[in-house]
Structure 1
Amino acid sequence: MPTSVTNEHPAGFPGGPRLLADVGGTNARFALELAPGNIGYVHVLPCAAYATLAAALRAYLGLPDVAAVAPVVRHGAIAIANPVAGDVVRMTNHHWQFSIAQLREECGFEVLAVVNDFTALARALPYLDLGEEKRQVGGRGAEPGTPLAVIGPGTGLGVSALIPTAAGWTALQSEGGHASFSPINETEVEILRFARREFGHVSAERLISGSGIELVYRALADLHGVPAEPLSAADVTLRALRGNCLLCDETIESFCGMLGTVAGNLAVTLGARGGVYIGGGIVPKLGERFDRSLFRARFEGKGRFNAYLSAIPTYVITAGYPAFAGVSAILAERLGDR
């Protein structure tokens, strides 16, 4: 079902508005689902401003516009950038940790679903409209009835997929971003060597993420024998887009190329002929620079499987809050109404 983001008040759920959340390492995004597919009252809270997830959740529910429309919220679902196995969740890229059962009781929920953020994003993929919520970058048409894959660099590197079954779609609970990084040219070998000075294990996430952009920038500066400025990922990206820093542009080109390789690996591993989707907070901001980068050439560059991969479409997710549709579907299934 397509999802609209609005503050209108249609006929709602029997149990009242539902809380939806998408929690990353940097920001926690909250919303209310007022009726099926009708999502509004979106607020983005910085994780660093709150000691716990419960504190951030209570702060959202206490906002005047939210409290006015939903003084009591009985049902909620949270997508979080972390593995979810059992009751205790400890975030990889932030200090929050919590018991799901205790969080449910503390915040007064009858039902609270907590899932990995890219599991939720995978569930949202069939609902994304071409042109409005996703942009195609290369490939041909998606093949119906085949897996869809999603990968997204942001604070970390999320990975998941949607697998078709006789009963519908099944989303994988993957932590593929922590698979070991594999260089494919001499420059990437040197980047890997540089990263190994700091990290015992260099995963794909170490290089294909926000902090990864900063690490690649420092590695390339070291390789070229030039001083590295203390630049953030946002600084590197802005300078690259402005075209006034060759080293920053090389960094972004390397980032896009490495992402293309990992996305191509994901496509051949899963047989994702339904398409590979690029989410996260970094790539959408690159705009046309991403479209003309090495990404697609590296995605297809698998030797004898070049023709196989050249047919698979890749999409940049441009929707503002795509995970909400997925976490809504997961909560609806938990409540037995979808």
Structure 2
Amino acid sequence: MSTAQVPALLRFLTQDAKVPLATAIGKTPELQKANLTSADQIAKADIQVLQDIFKDQKVAKQVLNAGKRFSKKRGAPTDTIAASPEKKRKNVNITTESTPFEIESSLSLPAPSTTDSELQDMIVVTNRAPLVLAFAVCVLKYTMPEQPISSRLSLAQALVSANSRSKAVSLGIENGQSAEEEGWGEGQPVVKVLGREIRVLKRWDYNPREGQPTTSPNPEESISNTDLADDFLGKGDIDDADKMPPLWGVDLEAARSSQNNTDSKKKTGGLPIYTAQSARSYLLRSISNVQKTTSPAKSKSNTAKSQGNEESVGCLLSVIDSVCRSWATNLNKEELDRRAWVWYLKVRPDVQSGVQGWGQKGEVKLSDILALRNDC
């Protein structure tokens, strides 16, 4: 099973088949052994095979029927497609009773359902800020592997906001000193993301693995399950004093502007932070229109566009991750972080300069990003 197939299978099991995430992770190795790595393959499976895997007739039928619905839906006209997984996700409330494992699971990012060869012919439409966010989220997986997905999203959003303000100042849209320059981050730890220093808040009391289901006693399944979980939980050890704990990116501008209105921003430890949920939402709504370069653009319903956005993000993150992964063994963390910013500059959308280009969208060819695997 490819790296891209695993998240896609988990997404199908949890969102379409309504299988609990813990069960889905535990059964993924068995589905792989049975060559049932996609919804289409599951739709054609023998019910007895699924019963042997899930050990529950009701759950087996549930998964089989979901596979059939999914396959039928793919062949249906766009105006009959059901609500997108992203819209379904928004209806799931993360409460104060949710465990850290459940929170991190809910923040997992989409994976593409396309093959590697199909990615070569695709284009995404976005502006520069979301592309920076995508590069930051991906490179942090390798430069700060101990950080869970909630921290990676928060740190990436902090970078985007800092860059956006600097750009606004250079264009004359904003003026005056930044909150950082006025000393609002004084005393807070600093980490570097794509070459920029970001003030952070350490989450000493947060263990992203709290609530994680016990892994299977089968050694092979335990290894596979650990690899899957590490993708959004991070590879850190909360009890290792030498490891950086989970982090939040601190929203210094909000700290300054809310000094007389303490309820204007969500606060953690007395400081406003960039929330992972808002960063994820921004990413999903700002990258759209995956299309083959040889196909003319077609009008789509709102539902189809929403589904297209999630597929777009999955494709973009997949190719950026493949670049970071290909270089992670050859570069140290500092150089990989520096190189990632250079890569972004090479593939960012070509828009007008100056104020006219502020927030303007442009095309990004995924083949150009994949070519960075051979970058010198």
TM-score by length of 2: 0.29
Higher strand share: 1
TM-score by length of 1: 0.31
The higher relative CO (CA closer than 8 Å, separation ≥ 6) is in 2
